[in-house]
Structure 1
Amino acid sequence: MLARFLTATCAAAAALFASHAFAAAPRPVVVELFTSQGCSSCPPADRFLSELSDTRADVLPLAFHVTYWNQLGWKDPFSFDDADARQAQYAQRFRGFEYTPQMVIDGKAEVVGSNRAAAGMAIDHAKSLDVTAATVSATRAGGGVSVSIGPGTGRARVLLVGYDARHVTPIGRGENAGHTLTESNVVRGFAPIGEWSGTALTLHAGAVAGEHLAVLLEAADGAIVGAARVADAAEAPAQ
């Protein structure tokens, strides 16, 4: 009798552990840093973003390298026009002008990217709000991406972001001349791939440039209301 009780107890405990193990993790807080290799005040913010990447699985850091520093002696090889366009959208909601290093947290708050205390408070506040319109999961296979979005309320643009884990760049000219910069989660590709309107949705899209991919749900007011890192096919759980 006791053996049967212990067996049943162990089985129940194992089932409970398995349910927690395979439960969807809380979505990461999305931290976007607008930066440039030509900006002398940006390296401290870049280092902070690298620390977030290395130590915080609950944060999805993304470094958008803007182009408007390129004419001042050093062309940032990771800068691209879509980074400028994205920051310009945020400028309309926040300060009204673009600057570096600017850090935007979940699309709702902005701080100077090197201000660790302010950024940390904004990240903690976003975590406490836990604004998630729908669960998001995505898998990368071959040259494409499969995205699954659960049911929920509201509407959102579905954005696919590609980023490289880390780059080390010796800077030859400009404000950072003579320094070697280490930068993490450098965005290389960015594209809208669909619209979510509250019902469950599956999307298939071609992968954008970047070693790694993430999916964001962006509400009409710019708030990030869903996010997930894209798993490689080998990492996806068996169905």
Structure 2
Amino acid sequence: MSKVFTSGRRAMLIGAAAAVATNLSREVAARPAAEGPWAVELFTSQGCSSCPPADMHLGRLARRPDIVALAFHVDYWDYIGWRDPFASRETTERQRAYARTLKQRYVYTPEMVVDGIGHDTGRDPAPIEALLSRAQARATRRATPDLSRALGGPLSIRLDAYPLDGRIADVTLAIYDRRHTTPVRSGENQGRMLENFNTVRHIELVDRWDGTARSWSVPGERIGPTQGMAVLVQETDHGPMIGCNKLEPAYSG
């Protein structure tokens, strides 16, 4: 397990070639689920030799309809010989925010944060399934956003009224690439062909929510034709998830 202290090293991002899966045929509406879905956020780096097993695990979780699986590539390992083309300071800061909320001594890769309540490396499925079971047990009701989008049009987000009891929740949009294959030419993974899934390319706070019925619209030009969209609803400042959902292109063949 690679790790770095929260006050530690930083590096800069540089681009590299990557291929996005094609054969997109249409958009589909995301159907709210009464008992989920549940969020799994992987903090990973192509410069980390411990990360590929967790990357593949996330790829398997991404196929599950009850999981919103997102990969956030961090930039603090770029200095060791390979600059991750998908890393950004924003994703690194999201991991550091979770470290503060979850009272971690340091950030590390790979790290899977499950529904904002706990974390593990993600290389072994068993601890992640245990955290998912814990998330399911604590939730009597989810604020699952209803997502819909016509092909090429704006993304519509709708939330029914939810009893936040005076608390505030963050409504966050993540836009992600479904799959990338990257030949790594240097660093700890030199010579490997890495597979990455649901790689977040853009994340933004849509609004802060007080629990009243609301709807939002995100312009379609912000979203690429092959990209997936996820909306996370969680207690403010990276607290536990209240609800989440995803909307992904459907593939032909």
Query: Offset of 1:97 from its aligned partner?
Result: 1.5
Task: Give the 3 Å change call, closer, same or farther, for CA 41–197 of structure 1 in structure 2.
Answer: same
SS of residue paired to 1:99: strand
The offset of 1:134, in angstroms, is 2.2
Question: Higher relative contact order by CA 8 Å / sep ≥ 6: 1 or 2?
Answer: 2
Q: Aligned letter for 1:45?
A: A
Match of 2:156 among 135, 146, 154: 146
- The answer to whether the aligner puts 1:200 opposite 2:213 as a matched pair is yes
Change (3 A) 1:137 1:127: same
Identify the residue that residue 10 of structure 1 maps to in structure 2.
none
Q: TM-score, normalised by structure 1?
A: 0.82
Aligned 8 A contact 1:42 1:100 in 2: yes
Aligned to 1:160: 173
- Structure 1: which amino acid aligns with 2:81? G
User: Normalising by structure 2, what TM-score?
Assistant: 0.77
Paired residue secondary structure (1:98)? strand
Structure 2 unpaired stretches of 5+: 1-30
What's 1:117 paired with? 126
CA-based RMSD of the aligned residues comes to 2.0
Corresponding letter in the other structure for 1:223: P
Q: Deviations over 1:114-153 (max 9, x none)?
A: 1321111111221233354523111234353211000011
- CA positional deviation for 1:23: 7.5
Alignment of 1:35 onto 2:52: no
Separation of aligned partners in 2, 1:86 and 1:62: 12
Counterpart CA distance in 1 for 2:191 and 2:144 is 45
Give the SS at the match of 1:167: strand
> Does the CA-based 8 Å contact 1:189-1:209 persist in structure 2?
no
CA apart distance, 1:27: 2.3
Other-structure match for 1:64: 72
1:77 and 2:90 aligned: no
- Secondary structure of residue in 2 paired with 1:225: strand
Aligned residues: 211
Which aligned runs of 4 or more in structure 1 are off by greater than 6 angstroms?
Answer: none
Distance 2:153 2:78 in 1: 32
* Cα displacement string for residues 63-99 of structure 1 (whole angstroms, at most 9, x for unaligned residues): 0000111111111111111111100101112313211
Cα contact 2:34–2:141 (8 A) shared by 1:
no
Which of 234, 243, 252 pairs up with 1:218? 234
Distance 2:141 2:46 in 1: 33
- Choose between structure 1 and 2: higher helix proportion: 1
For the residues of structure 2 that align with 1:203 and 1:161, how far apart are their CA atoms?
14
| Distance in 1 separating the partners of 2:157 and 2:35 | 17
Within 2, Cα distance between the matches of 1:89 and 1:209? 26
Task: List per-residue Cα deviations over 1:5-35 (Å, max 9, x = no partner).
Answer: xxxxxxxxxxxxxxxxx87453211000000
**1:199-224 per-position Cα deviation (integer Å, ceiling 9, x unaligned):** 10011123545501011101126111
Q: Identity, % of aligned pairs?
A: 40
Taking the aligned partners of 1:100 and 1:23, their CA distance within structure 2 comes to: 31
Which residue is 2:246 aligned to?
A: 229
Please say if residues 170 and 235 of structure 2, whose CA atoms lie closer than 8 Å, have aligned partners that are also in contact: yes
* Larger deviation, residues 79-88 vs 112-121: 112-121
| Cα gap change, 1:231 to 1:73, in 2 (>3 Å) | closer
Local SS of the residue matching 1:117: helix
